[in-house]
Amino acid sequence: MRILVDLFTCFFKMGLFTFGGGYAMLPLLQKEIVEDRAWASEEELLDYYAIGQTTPGIIAVNTATFIGEKQAGIKGAIVAVLGLIAPSILVISLLSGALEKYHESAVVAGALAGIRIAVSALIFMTVIKMAKSAIKDRGGLFIFGLALLLILGFSSPIVLTVFVGAGLGLLLSRRQHGNS
């Protein structure tokens, strides 16, 4: 029971402090899930993101399902997802009458511009931490560089990029296996 309450409050917090897409949630996940609660390792979080981006649905929901299931089975998954979506439902329901006005206010616009800078800095530090645990050798560095080139240089779709990465991983790890 305690784990369920903990899952709900933890993901409620994530939902409440995520502004933007699933990527904006990453620094919070890293702090709360990896560092504070040890519910997942850095590598596992990367795996969840890779899978979350290639499977149907919202990345944040996919990640919450993964982490919830690992901690408390199907119940845990459902509770984590409900915690994640509850703030959205609450805030938008409360604001729904005033959303247009809220959106156009200069104070809100200023706050959001500040949040964007803060979130960029947070993700910057998260990317550095994650790259360290994702790239273990030259093969990994090669895959990282190629994937980045595909996305930025050739606007490759996410699903295609992930398939190329997985295929190369298979190929390169096979070769290492054969050599040893």
16 binds another protein, rule: CB under 8 A: yes
Size of the residue set binding another protein (CB under 8 A):
108
In angstroms, the CA 105 to CA 112 distance is 11
The least distance separating another protein from the CB of residue 2, rounded to whole angstroms, comes to: 22
Q: Select the residue interacting with another protein from 25, 33, 72, 79 (CB under 8 A).
A: 25
Residues 118-137 that bind another protein (CB under 8 A): 118-127, 130-131, 133-135
The least distance separating another protein from the CB of residue 1, rounded to whole angstroms, comes to: 21
Selection from 1, 32, 34, 40 nearest residue 15 by Cα:
32
Q: Which is nearer to another protein, 5 or 109 (CB)?
A: 109
Say if residues 81 and 68 touch (Cβ distance below 8 Å): yes
Say if residues 48 and 63 touch (Cβ distance below 8 Å): yes
Q: Which is nearer to another protein, 5 or 167 (CB)?
A: 167
Tell me the residue type at 86. A
Selection from 172, 93, 91, 82 nearest residue 136 by Cα:
172
Say if residues 134 and 38 touch (Cβ distance below 8 Å): no
Q: Select the residue interacting with another protein from 2, 93, 179, 180 (CB under 8 A).
A: 93
Say if residues 103 and 92 touch (Cβ distance below 8 Å): no
96 binds another protein, rule: CB under 8 A: yes
x-or-dash pattern for another protein, window 36-75, by CB under 8 A?
-------x--xx-xxxxxxxxxxxxxx--xx--xx---x-
22 binds another protein, rule: CB under 8 A: yes
